[in-house]
Amino acid sequence: METSIIDKYRNTADGQEAEAILRSCVHCGFCTATCPTYQLLGDERDGPRGRIYLVKQLLEGQPATARTLTHLDRCLSGRSCETTCPSGVNYARLADIGRTLMQQQVAYPPVEQLKRWLMRKIIPYPARFSALLALAGLAKPLLPAASKRKLPQISTARPWVDSTHARRFLVLEGCVQKAVTPSVNAATAQVLDRLGIRLERTPGGVCCGAVSYHNGQREEGYDFMRRNIDAWWSGLQQGVEGIIVSASGCGLMVKEYGEVLKHDPEYAEKAAFISAHTRDLSELIAGEGLARLAIDPAGEKIAFHAPCTLQHGQRLPGVVEGILQRLGFVLTPIQDAHLCCGSAGSYSLLQPELSTRLRDNKIAHIEAGGPTIIATANIGCQMHLATGTGLRVVHWIELLADRLGD
Ligand code: SF4
Ligand code: SF4
């Protein structure tokens, strides 16, 4: 695609990166067919090709408006379009740059600004988020039925297996997952212990930074990233093999630390090293001898919902499904499994109507397969799906931990 970037942007790192991405797009529109927001709204500007064009116009000097920012904000950042694109266009990066530049020109209404500020000041901090959940729990009897259904079910914590194996990994404990499903990383430690791997917690570890970074607050996001790098660094110098992340959205962010911090003179090298040594939990487990787990699947019929951050972002389609099938679980089919469930990080809070429509479509496709339980790989998807179904929704590692044999 030809571009004519104005001087204001041409000499900036963002402008140059965006121009290179724009030039890689041939405007073919293949991506539009797999875009969930285009499917719902039928407007070119609510699909990837249209959004790419809106960012191009901005970089060529056309002022952003509240309308153009809305089209960018409706994007789920699930990257289904990147999987479809034959030209390898780095759409997500372009959208991040475009959204940040548009937010510099267009102010959100005060209520929206407050909502976004509260979100950034509460969600990434497990103690604050837990306190909010506790308050909501107290108020639950007074809430309308629709609000009650949105309150997440807090899972019971499991004891952490403190093994002594020579193979060691550190874990990103995360923020929302730590508050809502503290059992997930403990289940991870339990399963890895059976595979001869010790999983270590990381004092000083914080939110991966995605909540701030993807909502236009880059410096705040960088701060979270640097704090995690500092927390992990000494372990990685002392024989730890790498970082394991059980929430695919957070894992994708950590895998991008190297790219995101490449201009930081102090952290660029460390960030690249961390990203190269970060693995989704499924990547690690898929390479191990699963017979050691002695799992009895007990005929359970599982619907595995693959988060966008796992299948499109981390490009790991079919890995969890392969593990579950090797262990003898029966996987039920899901129509349009490539489409987003509508969770998408903070999207369900910021775009509730679209998010609910996508969730309902996803649940209908999942339930049509007749599963007895829904498994997924990201806390956001887990919480979001649970608000729309009577079926139990779990992280897939909990299925394994609950069925470990002797
Ligand atoms: S992003 Fe890829 S698929 Fe979409 S219009 Fe551009 S080249 Fe075509
Ligand atoms: S990231 Fe998802 S919602 Fe956004 S343009 Fe791509 S396919 Fe559409």
31 Cα nearest atom in ligand 2: 7
- Sorted by where each begins, the domain ranges of the chain are 7-105, 294-402
DSSP-derived 3-state class of residue 360: helix
Distances (CA, A) of 189 to 97, 235, 293, 400: 37, 17, 13, 11
Please provide the average confidence, as pLDDT, over all residues in the chain.
94
Dump pLDDT digits (tens) for 320-370: 999 999 999 999 999 999 999 999 888 988 999 999 999 999 999 999 999
Span 263-291, pLDDT tens digits: 999 999 999 999 999 999 999 999 999 99
- Nearest Cα to Cα of residue 212 among 119, 275, 126: 119
pLDDT at 264: 96
CATH topology of domain 294-402: Rossmann fold (3.40.50)
Average pLDDT over residues 17-25: 96
- Euclidean distance between CA atoms 231 and 229, whole angstroms: 5
Give dist(CA 225, CA 228) in Å, integer.
5
Query: What pLDDT is stored for residue 142 in this prediction?
Result: 82
Measured in Å, residue 20 CA sits from the centre of ligand 2 at: 19
Nearest residue (CA) to ligand 2, atom 4: 75
Q: What is the pLDDT of residue 333?
A: 97
Whether 5 shows a pLDDT value over 90: the answer reads yes
Q: Which residues of 243-273 are buried (b: 16+ CB within 10 A; e: fewer)?
A: bbbbbbbbbbbbbbbbebbeebeebbebbeb
- Between the CA of 28 and the centroid of ligand 1 the distance, in Å, is 5
* Ligand 1 site-directed mutation target among 22, 23, 25, most atoms within 8 Å of CB: 25
Say what the pTM is. Answer: 0.94
d(CA 227, CA 279): 19
Residues present in the chain in total = 406
Mean predicted confidence (pLDDT) in 69-75: 96
pLDDT in tens, 140-188: 888 877 777 778 888 888 999 988 999 999 999 999 999 999 999 999 9
Q: Is 75 in the pocket of ligand 2 (CB under 6 A)?
A: yes
Average pLDDT over residues 288-301: 91
- Is pLDDT of 381 > 90? yes
DSSP state of 197: E
- For the Cβ of 31 lying below 6 angstroms from any atom of ligand 1, the answer is yes
Is residue 102 a contact partner of residue 110, using CB atoms and an 8 Å limit?
Answer: no
* Model pLDDT for residues 141-153, shown as the tens digit of each residue: 888 777 777 788 8
Report whether CATH 3.80.10.10 matches the domain 7-105: no
d(CA 258, CA 108) in angstroms, rounded, equals 31
Instruction: Write out the DSSP string of 291-348.
Output: GGG----TT-EEEE---HIIIIIS--TTHHHHHHHHTTPEEPP-TTTTS--S-TTTHH
pLDDT value at position 156? Answer: 83
Each residue of 232-242: pLDDT tens digit?
999 999 999 99
How many angstroms separate the Cα of 141 from the Cα of each of 72, 132, 145, 388? 37, 16, 9, 20
Contacts of 214 (CB under 8 A, 6+ apart): 77, 96, 221, 345, 346
**Per-residue DSSP letter, 165:** -
Task: Name 97's Cβ contacts closer than 8 Å, sequence gap at least 6.
Answer: 14, 17, 18, 55
Measure the CA–CA gap between 72 and 80, rounded to whole angstroms.
Answer: 15
Residue 303 has a pLDDT of 98
Ligand nearest to the CA of 53: 1
Domains 7-105 and 294-402 share a fold: no
pLDDT of 388 > 90? The answer is yes
Q: What is the largest CA-CA distance in the chain?
A: 67
Are 124 and 175 within 8 A, CB to CB? yes
pLDDT of residue 288: 94
Q: At what angle do helices 13-24 and 91-105 cross, to 10 degrees?
A: 130
Ligand 2 lined by 81 (C-beta under 6 Å): yes
Number of the ligand 1 atom closest to the C-alpha atom of 91: 1
Q: Tell me how many degrees the CA angle 70-120-185 measures, rounded to the nearest 5.
A: 115
